[in-house]
């Protein structure tokens, strides 16, 4: 079987990129909220990492939606997804989550960057200041809902693939958790990368905080991947065939062992432990580790999407 | 303050969980009440022991339903030959939409373009509502859906719902079959040929373990080979 073209393949790599971007956005927003509440408080808007997280979250969710639309066979009819809803469809509910998520995302960004926004708008558009003041009153609610919706968005990327009976490897209850965890860590990585590029200090408290959270997150991901494949193998039948086909020999087996487990998870884990232990944090270390994590998550999305569609129940 | 925030978070979580689970449970409950309202439920039987693999059904379908070249709503899959010359034979089995009672394609479609006609149990596609996301093609365990290259919408067998059935005729494939291997009828009518045959013969449906409750029945021909 050709690794990239086979009969049962329905969804190609654009869907993997879409899932990746949605996960990055959810993760970046999640960590932006954490950074503000745990380390930075009112000074959050000054941090290059929070700025990067907000830019990454806003851009990637839009880019993801754009890819989703372009991948339709009738891109000009995409508005029908927004008009007609089907409560049993994960895609339909996901689009709803995506839209509500964006509302809270922009609201939260407006609250956090209130100071610079108000300074700039006061002389020009005083009306904007009224809106930000009003939003600031509901900051707790906005933050809470943003967290709920970003976690939902991260999990949705997995549910989209698992909500069908045809492919046993995808129809797996661990998949949403795995995609949520890897989405969060890709969001963290994107914020770190963006943050150091925006002249944030590679040894700042933000980096130290994210690295501390990332270590258990990566360990959790490895555990989830283990559970994912263990569950498939123990279910027997086509699930077992699918699992062994995916992580066995061949192109995708190589991607899994070297790309995902090696470069995407073990290497960043080792780098994080090293940087925590030695407190040596240089631009190149932080950026390199973040790039590896992002690459790993892109590979994971493609790996699951393609190998998942290889074996039919 | 701390307390009210926690309360707020808790109740929102409960709300989100409730909203996401409710439609699923409701759908299950409706599945059976729907059956009682009317007494029309179409199904099909393919008698593989009678099928000679002539593909007349495929051609008739293409013509009646204007199915473009390169795609098809049904195909006859051939395997074999089995046995020794001169007593060789082939296996033919029909590959087309099974009109699942609990249809994955309908459940996943974001716009409701894939739907079940409550009047008669036919699973169909509203090409206008379809955006071409291909989620239904991914979800269908029987691999029978395709994108129609002309309409760009998902397409598949609809038991000639838009064509022959509207003219009170049998589906095109059934009319065309020279050996009467295909039987179409109403499962709710105990006098129908279909129900008589289903009661009198051992029949099979595929992938029942997925819970799709398909309505394409088959009388299988002798195996010819052993697959473990
Ligand atoms: S066989 Fe496929 S297309 Fe037909 S109703 Fe079942 S899931 Fe839908
Ligand atoms: S391709 Fe069309 S019919 Fe199929 S799920 Fe998407 S919108 Fe629905
Ligand atoms: S027309 Fe009848 S005999 Fe010929 S292939 Fe179709 S089902 Fe078989």
> In chain B, which residues touch A (CB < 8 A)?
5, 8-9, 12-13, 16, 20, 22-24, 27, 104, 106-113, 129-135, 137-141, 143, 147, 152-153, 207, 210-212
Residue A218 — very low, low, confident or very high, per pLDDT cuts 50/70/90?
A: very high
Cβ-based contacts of A86 with chain B (< 8 Å): 109-112
What is the per-residue pLDDT for B40? Answer: 94
Question: Dihedral sign, CA of A299, A305, A309, A313?
Answer: positive
Percent of all residues in chain A with a pLDDT value above 90, rounded to a whole number: 88
Q: Which residue of A has its CA nearest to B129?
A: A80
The winner for highest mean pLDDT among A3-7, A261-265, B80-84 is A261-265
Q: For residue A32, which of A182, A190, A139 has the smallest C-alpha distance?
A: A190
| Pair A61, A33: CB distance under 8 Å | no
| pLDDT tens digits, B24-52 | 554 444 444 444 457 899 999 999 999 99
Find the DSSP H helices in A48-174: 48-70, 79-83, 90-112, 114-121, 126-137, 139-162
Architecture of domain B42-219: 2-Layer Sandwich (3.30)
Average of per-residue pLDDT across B89-101: 95
| pLDDT tens digits, A162-175 | 999 999 999 999 99
The residue contributing the CA closest to ligand 3 atom 8 is: B51
User: CB distance B107–A88 less than 8 Å?
Assistant: yes
Question: Dihedral sign, CA of B203, B205, B209, B214?
Answer: negative
Instruction: Please report, for residues A129, A198, A206, A310, the alpha-carbon distance to residue A271 in angstroms, rounded to integers and kept in the order given.
Output: 44, 22, 17, 34
Cβ-based contacts of B134 with chain A (< 8 Å): 10-11, 73
Buried b (16+ CB within 10 A) or exposed e, A51-81: bbbbbbbbbbbebbbebbbebbbbeebbebb
Q: Which residue of B has its CA nearest to A138?
A: B5
Cβ-based contacts of A96 with chain B (< 8 Å): none
What is the per-residue pLDDT for B1? Answer: 45
Cβ-based contacts of A83 with chain B (< 8 Å): 111
- Mean pLDDT over the full length of chain A: 95
| Strands B74-82 and B89-96, sheet pairing | antiparallel
Report how far ligand 3's centroid is from the alpha carbon of B179 (Å): 7
CB-based contacts of B86-89 (< 8 A; 24+ apart in sequence): B89/B221, B89/B224
State whether residue A89 sits within 8 Å of chain B by CB.
yes
What is the per-residue pLDDT for B83? Answer: 84
As beta bridge partners, residue B93 has B77
Residue B179 — very low, low, confident or very high, per pLDDT cuts 50/70/90?
A: very high
Looking at the partner chain, which of A72, A90, A141 has a beta carbon nearest the beta carbon of B131? A72
Domains of chain A: 13-308 (1.20.1630.10)
| pLDDT tens digits, A281-293 | 889 999 999 999 9
Q: Where are the domains of chain B?
A: 1-37, 42-219
Instruction: Provide the angle, in degrees to the nearest 10, between the axes of the packed helices A48-70 and A90-112.
Output: 150
Element (H, E) at B79: strand B74-82
| Pair A264, A300: CB distance under 8 Å | yes
Residue B3 — very low, low, confident or very high, per pLDDT cuts 50/70/90?
A: low
- Mean pLDDT over the full length of chain B: 88
Looking at the partner chain, which of A8, A80, A166 has a beta carbon nearest the beta carbon of B111? A80
Buried b (16+ CB within 10 A) or exposed e, B170-209: bbbbbbbbeeebbbbbbbbeeebebbebbeeeeeeeebee
How many angstroms separate the CA atoms of A109 and A299, rounded? 30
Q: Is pLDDT of A133 > 70?
A: yes
Q: Is pLDDT of B197 > 70?
A: yes
How many angstroms separate the CA atoms of A98 and A217, rounded? 24
Report how far ligand 3's centroid is from the alpha carbon of B43 (Å): 17
Residue in the structure block whose two tokens are 């088959």: B218
Other C-beta atoms lying within 10 Å of the C-beta of residue B152: 18
Percent of all residues in chain A with a pLDDT value above 70, rounded to a whole number: 100
The residue contributing the CA closest to ligand 1 atom 4 is: B97
State whether residue A238 sits within 8 Å of chain B by CB.
no
Q: Is A287 left (phi over 0), alpha (psi -120 to 50) or beta?
A: alpha
- Cβ partners under 8 Å of residue B148, min gap 6: B67, B68, B71, B127, B154, B155
Instruction: Please report, for residues A57, A102, A104, A137, A300, the alpha-carbon distance to residue A108 in angstroms, rounded to integers and kept in the order given.
Output: 12, 10, 6, 11, 30
- DSSP conformation class of A2: -
Average of per-residue pLDDT across A128-141: 93
User: CB distance B24–A78 less than 8 Å?
Assistant: no
Q: How far apart are the first and last CA of chain A?
A: 17
């Amino acid at each position: 079987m050709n690794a990239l073209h086979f009969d049962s393949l329905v969804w190609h790599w654009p869907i993997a990129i879409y899932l990746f971007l949605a996960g990055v956005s959810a993760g970046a927003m999640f960590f932006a909220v954490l950074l503000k509440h745990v380390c930075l408080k009112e000074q959050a808007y000054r941090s290059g990492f929070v700025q990067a997280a907000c830019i990454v979250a806003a851009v990637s969710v839009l880019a993801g939606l754009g890819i989703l639309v372009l991948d339709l066979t009738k891109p000009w009819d995409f508005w029908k997804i927004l008009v007609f809803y089907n409560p049993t469809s994960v895609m339909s509910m996901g689009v709803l989550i995506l839209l509500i998520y964006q509302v809270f995302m922009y609201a939260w960004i407006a609250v956090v960057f209130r100071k610079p926004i108000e300074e700039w708008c006061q002389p020009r558009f005083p009306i904007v200041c009224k809106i930000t003041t009003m939003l600031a009153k509901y900051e707790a609610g906005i933050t809470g809902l943003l967290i709920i919706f970003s976690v939902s968005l991260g999990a949705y990327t997995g549910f989209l693939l698992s909500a069908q009976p045809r492919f046993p490897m995808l129809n797996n209850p661990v998949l949403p958790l795995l995609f949520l965890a890897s989405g969060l860590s890709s969001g963290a990585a994107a914020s770190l990368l963006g943050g150091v590029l925006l002249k944030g200090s590679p040894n700042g408290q933000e980096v130290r905080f994210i690295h501390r959270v990332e270590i258990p997150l990566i360990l959790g991901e490895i555990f989830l991947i283990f559970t994912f494949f263990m569950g498939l193998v123990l279910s027997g039948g086509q699930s077992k065939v699918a699992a062994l086909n995916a992580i066995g020999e061949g192109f995708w087996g190589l991607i899994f062992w070297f790309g995902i487990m090696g470069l995407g998870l073990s290497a960043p884990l080792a780098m994080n432990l090293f940087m925590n232990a030695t407190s040596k944090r240089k631009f190149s270390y932080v950026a390199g580790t973040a790039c590896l994590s992002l690459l790993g998550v892109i590979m994971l999305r493609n790996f699951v999407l393609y190998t998942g569609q290889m074996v039919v129940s | 303050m701390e307390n009210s925030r926690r309360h707020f978070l808790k109740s929102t979580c409960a709300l989100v969980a409730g909203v996401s689970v409710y439609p699923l449970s409701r759908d299950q409950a409706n599945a059976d009440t729907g059956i009682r309202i009317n007494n029309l439920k179409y199904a099909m039987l393919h008698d593989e022991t009678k099928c000679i693999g002539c593909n007349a059904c495929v051609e008739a379908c293409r013509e009646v339903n204007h199915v473009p070249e390169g795609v098809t709503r049904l195909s006859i899959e051939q395997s074999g030959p089995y046995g020794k010359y001169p007593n060789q034979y082939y296996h033919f089995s029909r590959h087309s939409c099974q009109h699942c009672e609990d249809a994955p394609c309908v459940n996943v479609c974001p716009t409701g373009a894939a739907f079940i006609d409550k009047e008669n149990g036919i699973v169909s596609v509203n090409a206008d509502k379809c955006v071409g996301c291909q989620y239904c093609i991914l979800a269908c365990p029987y691999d029978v859906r395709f994108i129609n290259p002309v309409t760009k919408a998902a397409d598949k067998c609809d038991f000639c719902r838009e064509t022959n059935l509207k003219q009170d005729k049998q589906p095109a494939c059934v009319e065309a079959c020279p050996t009467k291997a295909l039987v179409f009828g109403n499962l709710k009518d105990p006098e129908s040929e279909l129900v008589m045959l289903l009661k009198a013969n051992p029949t099979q449906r595929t992938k029942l373990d997925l819970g799709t409750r398909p309505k394409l029945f088959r009388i299988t021909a002798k195996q010819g080979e052993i697959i473990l």
